[in-house]
Amino acid sequence: MLERLWNGWRAAYVAGAAAADVASDAPLVGGSVFTQILASGLSDDEAHIVFRGECCFAIMNAFPYTSGHLMVLPYREVAELEDLTTDEAADLWATVTDAVRVLKAVYRPGGLNVGVNLGRPAGGSVSQHLHVHVVPRWAGDANFMTAVADTRTLPEALADSAAKVRAAWIALQR
């Protein structure tokens, strides 16, 4: 059984409607959690959006595997890669490439995982809104806490990660 460490800064997300999106296959009224965030009127700082492009944006994962865990996704809610327009697909992969550059600059990881889960059986917790995970990794980051206690530890608050990543993304664009 997965144990949890107290991370009070995550309480607002967990208590919100977004939790229903993770727990159910049923479409949410108003769209996916990502569509709801985009329509919420929250500032990018409040929503942890770190980059906005022409067709896609990057947002910090509210349930990160490690500090710096990003997701890149199109503004338009689509479930499958083949449903993207040519412009969306080009912008998505260009943004993923920039996300890799940014995370390498900010965190200096030993490696990165870049992946897409298409459909709930593939591990897609928000399967109706395609998103690409970009996750910095280090040798030994699956430490004893995960192996023995089935718990992840995160050394940095989500807002702090977002601020670092956003600043690096701005610097990359210059």
CATH at residue 19: 3.30.428.10
- SS3 string, the chain, reads CCCCCCCHHHHHHHHCCHHHHHHCCCCCCCCCHHHHHHHCCCCHHHHCEEEECCCEEEEECCCCCCCCCEEEEECCCCCCHHHCCHHHHHHHHHHHHHHHHHHHHHHCCCEEEEEECCCHHHCCCCCCCCCEEEEEECCCCCCHHHHHHCCCCCCCCHHHHHHHHHHHHHHHHC
In a domain, 1, yes or no: no
Q: pLDDT of 54-78, one tens digit each?
A: 999 999 998 888 889 999 999 999 9
> Can you give the pLDDT at residue 1?
57
In a domain, 121, yes or no: yes
Q: pLDDT of 75-125, one tens digit each?
A: 999 999 999 999 999 999 999 999 999 999 999 999 999 999 887 877 767
Range of the domain at 85: 11-173
In a domain, 72, yes or no: yes
In a domain, 151, yes or no: yes
Catalytic position from the list 69, 129, 131, 133: 131
In a domain, 52, yes or no: yes
Domain count, the chain: 1
Question: Would you call 131 a catalytic residue per the annotation?
Answer: yes
Q: Which of 16, 140, 31 is nearest to 77 (CA)?
A: 31
In a domain, 91, yes or no: yes
